[in-house]
Amino acid sequence: MNGFLNILKPPGLTSHDVVKYVRRLFPGTKVGHGGTLDPGAAGVLPLLLGQATRFSSYLMDLPKVYRAELFLGLTTDTDDSSGKTVDWEEGPISLQKGEIKKILTSFLGEIEQVPPMFAAIKKKGKKLYEYAREGIVVQRPARKVQIHSLQMLAYYPPTRILLEIGCSKGTYIRTLCAQIGAALGYGGHMSFLLRKEVGTFELAQACTLDDPVFSSGVARARQALLPLDYPFLDRERLCPGEKGIKKLLQGQYIPFKELQAQTGGASGEPVDGKILPVYTTTGEFAGLAGWKLDRAVGFQLKPEKMIQI
């Protein structure tokens, strides 16, 4: 059983709860997920089954799109509505849409975030939220993340702003909401979160866990499986030929000039660090390979994650 599932995670379940549910559907199959979604959040949760788990790190790197509501005037210790109130704005909140849009523009591009204490990342082998539950605050270095897009979809005066955010991996949307609230001068927290996209995985195509396809036996559930190359369908394809595929499967590098000769110049222009899906001459997905620039020999195609075909 190899492939991906595009699951619509409901609020109230952890990402691992969803993984455990699917493991019961496919006994003996390795199952993982492509990026944690907070228990209170809903939205796209890619699941990886069988050989798809080999591509876990690549799914983590995919850009994401979220829809979130910022509630102004009240800050919490978790930056979302599940936490304890830390501070609240006693005076009236008065904002114009133009003011909000101007502040949002300032968050586009590279920004720094300090991960919240209620987070799953580890410090000295222990998760941050475990320290937080013990009342311990530890130092967390700031991280750089990319905000690709940040749009105000609606403003419901005086306290609620509906946002759509496109961002890089590692972005904490609740922290971003708290940052925006602080920049607006009133503080705030995230009161709602929906993940709309993880790379090619989109909300419109996601399946719920109570979908009939999952309650009609394994054979029917297989119909929901997406192919192993699904996360990479928006990338340029590379077909290195039979000899090239054999080399990559054996862990060997292929010089660019050799690849050009084998493919008749159809391999495109190399870009250092660019990772591409690789296909056989019959169109079968064989894995991922990436360009690497070597000063001595020039560009070479390096096997990244290949699968036995």
- Which pLDDT tens digit goes with each residue over 226-254? 999 999 999 999 999 999 999 999 999 99
166 and 184 part of one domain? yes
pLDDT at 169: 93
Contacts of residue 179, Cβ cutoff 8 Å, sequence gap at least 6 = 107, 111, 113
Q: Give the 3-state secondary structure of residue 301.
A: strand
Q: What pLDDT digit, counting tens, does each position of 28-49 carry?
A: 999 999 988 989 999 999 999 9
Alpha-carbon span 19 to 239, nearest angstrom: 34
154 and 217 part of one domain? no
Residue 25 DSSP one-character state: H
Residues composing the chain: 309
Domain-located, residue 83: no
What's the pTM value of the predicted model, to 2 decimals? 0.90
For residue 155, give the CATH number of its domain: 3.30.2350.10
149 and 117 part of one domain? yes
Q: What pLDDT digit, counting tens, does each position of 158-206 carry?
A: 999 999 999 999 999 999 999 999 999 999 999 999 999 999 999 999 9
For residue 280, give the CATH number of its domain: 2.30.130.10
Domain-located, residue 80: no
How sure is the predictor about 7, in pLDDT bands with cuts at 50, 70 and 90?
very high
Give the domain-ending residue among 157, 189, 221: 189
Domain-located, residue 286: yes
pLDDT at 129: 77
pLDDT value at 21 more than 70: yes
141 and 183 part of one domain? yes
pLDDT at 194: 98
147 and 205 part of one domain? no
Domain-located, residue 176: yes
Q: Give the 3-state secondary structure of residue 13.
A: coil
The catalytic residue positions are 38
Total structural domains in the chain? 3
Q: Mean pLDDT over all residues of the chain?
A: 91
pLDDT at 218: 67
99 and 184 part of one domain? yes
Alpha-carbon span 245 to 281, nearest angstrom: 9
Domain-located, residue 52: yes
pLDDT at 203: 97
Domain-located, residue 194: no
Place of tokens 């110049």: 265
How far is residue 162 from each of residues 41, 74, 97, 117, 221, measured CA to CA in Å? 15, 16, 12, 25, 35
Alpha-carbon span 309 to 307, nearest angstrom: 6
**What is the pairing mode between strands 298-306 and 285-294?**
antiparallel
212 and 183 part of one domain? no
Alpha-carbon span 182 to 103, nearest angstrom: 10
pLDDT at 219: 66
What are the respective helix, strand and coil percentages of the chain, to the nearest 5? 25, 35, 40
Q: What pLDDT digit, counting tens, does each position of 85-135 carry?
A: 999 988 899 999 999 999 999 999 999 998 887 777 777 778 887 887 878
Domain-located, residue 39: yes
Bigger pLDDT: 209 vs 198: 198
pLDDT at 266: 63
Q: Which domain holds residue 168?
A: 91-189
Domain-located, residue 153: yes
In a 13 Å sphere around the CA of 281, the CA atoms on its Cβ side amount to 8
Alpha-helical regions (H) of the chain: 15-25, 56-60, 97-105, 128-133, 173-184, 218-221, 241-249, 256-263
Give the domain-ending residue among 189, 217, 249: 189
